[in-house]
Chains A and B, each alone.
Chain A
Amino acid sequence: MERKRGTPPIARLLGPAGALAAGVAALRAAIAGAADARNGQRPPLSSDRDKVAHLLRRAGFGYSVADLDAYTRLGVPGAVDALLNYEQVDDSALEARLAGLDLKLRSTLDPEVRYNLGDMQREWLLRMIYTRRPLQEKMTLFWHGLLVSGSGKVGQIQPKADLPSPPNLMLDQIAYYRSHALDDLGSILKAVARDPAMVTYLDSNTNRKGKPNENFGRELLELFTLGVTGPDGKPNYTEDDVREVARAFTGFGLDQGRFVFRPAQHDAGPKTVFGKTGPFGGDDVIDLILAHPGSAPYICRRLFAFFAYPDPEPDVLTGLVQSLRGSNGSIRAVMRTLLTSRAFYSEKAYRATAKSPAEYVAGMARALELQTDAFNFQGSVQRMSQTLFNPPNVSGWPGGAAWFNSTTWLERVNRANSVLGIRKDDHTQPVALLTFVQRHGLDTAERAVDFFLDLLVDGQVRPQQRQVLVDYVNEGSLWKGAPARESEPAVDRKLRGLVYLILASPEYQLA
């Protein structure tokens, strides 16, 4: 093919001058705010677009340019509605994508067909990357970190003649959280008390009359619903309460991986819990917990810390608690209050949470419009210290600054590097950075830097940091400073370095 002299490949990629100009104009408009920010003119979260970006990071797993455009067109309240009313969103493309992969999620009598944790994790990561119902998936991750069970102890049920396709207990627990993510708190807790993975994980299946096992009862109070003490430092329950709650749940058990209640093993005698006495069973105890003054603030604090920032101010907490109590415990009502609250969009909330490994990896994939089956992604997320389906212990992941240490930090930046470096792979298509150049008219180093800063970190970096990136892109003999005058491979490798640096930056580690 004949190439016109003086027209390098990238210029052809960028297309006719007219299209390029239009692209540049649009891009300039889009990044105008970012330019202000670099001059210290624009505080964070000051435009609708910024607020929606923040919303999609917290109530989801980040966004592509197209996602951000679409949600921004709805306005902030409209975007919150769309996230909360996810049942109305068609997610069949995700299900079709998952169905097209040979992921081993169930075991059968065929010894070749055994589910494995890696495939379960891949499937979940794919949901985080490709779902059009991001809040549903984010809530699922929230519940997994609050009402914790873990595959390490839950284990596998082996298929046998009278149980040819045994349930996958951890997968089913997470599926429950997914399908009931915004239900009322009481029904979720009562279901979790019966959830076979939980019944196994916290030993309810051997909690019998006369010989109670305290494991579930203690963690139900301490970690799932109340906390050892309230914010005032006063105990929410006593050691005697733990022992009595354990008695109330005696008789909860499993048969072939399904929940059963065994009346003969249940202690029907009177128990005293929180100063009230009666022949309580498990559901009665959950009702007593819901009536305990500490339970509504506890769940609201946990939600607010996960989605906004730790330790909400008293009036913020009061608003959430009123929503919960005024709606018979509806988590959807609390989330609506939370996601529309002033505090959620306040400067204090900006970059006030750390991205968990799953958020980091899924967010990167969304922003770069990655086409992947997530092969090997799960191992990387695990090395970043987040083993999905198997939290480190019953309190879940500590989160926050604890996500960052030398090993997990290296794994993050190295994962960004390997995602960008993929050339030809059966599982993941190369990141199409040149299509960003074409679509968004990135015809100078500055425009490329500003575009990716805007996409990945709201353009909110200091001028010195932006200059570091501009200098990086301009440096090197293979690069002449303007994409339009460069060969495609030269542009691509400099852009890979640029995007790597932003994904590795301190700003991008935060949500």
Chain B
Amino acid sequence: MSMLSRRIFIQDGFKVVSLGLAMPHIFTRAVQAAGQEAGRDDSAVFSPETVSNDPFADRTLIVVQMAGGNDGLNTVIPYADGAYYSQRKNLGIPEAEVLKLDDRFGLHPAMGGFKGLWDAGNLAVVHGVGYPNPSFSHFKAMDIWQTANPEGRADEGWLAKLVKGSVDRRGHPFAGFAAGSTLPPALMSPDVSVPAVDNANTFKLLPDPRYAVDAPARQKALVQLYSGYAGGDPFARVLQSTQDGTIGSIDQLQRAHVAYKPAVEYPKDGFGAGLRLLSETITGDLGVKVGYITIGGFDTHSNQKPNQARLLQSLSDGLKAFWDDLVAQGKADKVLIMSWSEFGRRVGENGSNGTDHGTVVPQFIIGNGIKGGHWGDPVSLTDLASGNLKFTTDFRSVYSTVMDGWLGAPAEKLLGARYPTLGFIGSGQAA
């Protein structure tokens, strides 16, 4: 969009765009959404039939980022492979402690919650996930995963592309939602503002404590200052869509927040609080298509054992509580959870009771409509590249499966290439 085309003028207090089709999506969609909220009535562009006939219409994808590079070998443990114990003399998890899934693999002992999901058929493990020419830089690797681009270069994140139009035909301001005070690059786009919320209680525009009666006049002027702003990129679109998207979403989030009653007790850590917030948005029917949450600290160069155990406990307990809550609220059929991490770690341990940056990492998929079990080929612990695992499953295959199978989005178009889908959604057969 050119600078000129984004100019918005004020007439009678309303935003008017100088060139009709140039209005940033978020503005038009917020207007539509406001109308829909009132009476659940899709007038204008989308007829009610279109929406109700869409089997993907009310589905949600929750993406869980395990930041720092999770040690996959100590998460889904190949306990029957002698090579694992010879490479992991200090850090290897003894077979007796492993939560066995079958005769080859078991979960880290802190992941009792995940074991329950596995036993119920709600957990799929995708093995050997990576991509060619892996980056060992946290930041390059994260960029690659978040843009689904092998160079890590793109104007917007892969999830933002989904939110922007492919899966949100109703144009809802909550199509994307990030729990936390930072918006992940995967949900960044110059064209759409995804709310990032860390605390619903403070997600409000506060009035002057000594002049509360002035609040409407002040808010009106504030909105006009933003719509009348004529700055250039990269900030103009971001600031305008942030202001507009935020003010347009406060009331809805507050309503959902007040109405929400969790059916379970969430763990009392930041991850648990974020999952609770995601549950509020889902049970409150805010129309979230893609929810996002991050759990950080997996960069275990030193003292890995207690640190990773604490994180995996938090991950597993939190997601189990979230899942149980969704089941109790009658929403589980409509939610799919996918984890990712920018890389796994070196097969051999270092001298600090830790592991350095590696390559391959398993991904978890949790859902009701999925086929639980193992997907993708397990990696070899002996056929290594400079001490690192060789990938067997391209992460874009996992993305494609979720896009196509869960959200009904055109994966090939969005990823720019066709990647074979895995069978955890649809008619495939688990390995």
Contacts and interface: CB of A to CB of B under 8 A. Distances in A.
Interface string A370-398: 00000000000001110000001111000
B198 A228 contact: no
B225 interface: yes
B221 to A, nearest CB: 4
A497 B214 contact: yes
A224 to B, nearest CB: 13
10 contacts: A203-B301, A214-B350, A384-B181, A406-B196, A407-B196, A413-B205, A413-B222, A414-B202, A421-B209, A501-B225
Contacts of B329: none
A168 interface: no
Interface stretch (A87-95, A107-115, A182-190, A468-476): A468-476
Interface string B181-214: 1110000100001111111001111111111001
Interface string B345-361: 00000111110110000
A206 interface: yes
A273 B100 CA distance: 44
B23 interface: no
A406 B205 CA distance: 11
A213 B225 contact: no
Contact of A464 (B135, B218, B228): B228
Contacts of A207: 351-352
Contacts of A257: none
Q: Which 10 A-B pairs have the closest CB atoms?
A: A211-B351, A206-B352, A406-B246, A405-B196, A405-B183, A472-B221, A215-B301, A406-B195, A493-B211, A506-B239
A465 B229 contact: yes
A38 interface: no
Contacts of B136: 218, 239, 242
B302 interface: yes
Interface of A: 202-203, 206-208, 210-215, 218, 222-223, 228, 239, 242, 351, 354, 383-385, 392-395, 400-402, 404-411, 413-414, 417-418, 420-421, 423, 462, 464-465, 468-469, 471-472, 475-476, 493, 496-497, 500-501, 504-507, 509-510
Contact of B139 (A395, A402, A418, A506): A395
Nearest to A469: B221
B196 A464 contact: no
Given A405-B196, A462-B230, A506-B235, A393 B205 contact: no
A497 B208 contact: yes
A211 B350 contact: yes
B301 A506 contact: no
Contacts of A407: 181, 195-199, 203
Contacts of B296: 392-393
B228 A510 contact: no
B7 to A, nearest CB: 10
Interface residues of B, number: 67
A507 B218 contact: no
Contact of B357 (A214, A400, A507, A510): A214
B27 to A, nearest CB: 15
A506 B181 contact: no
Interface string B231-246: 1001110111011011
Contact of B242 (A218, A392, A409, A476): A409
A417 B204 CA distance: 12
Contacts of B302: 203, 206, 213, 215
B235 A354 contact: yes
B140 interface: yes
B195 A206 contact: no
Nearest to B182: A385
A162 to B, nearest CB: 24
A417 B207 CA distance: 7
Contacts of A210: 351
B195 A417 contact: no
B138 to A, nearest CB: 7
Contacts of A476: 214, 217
B357 A401 contact: no
Contact of A420 (B208, B235, B356): B208
B328 interface: no
Select the residue from A223, A242, A395, A505 with max chain B CB neighbours within 10 A.
A505
B137 interface: yes
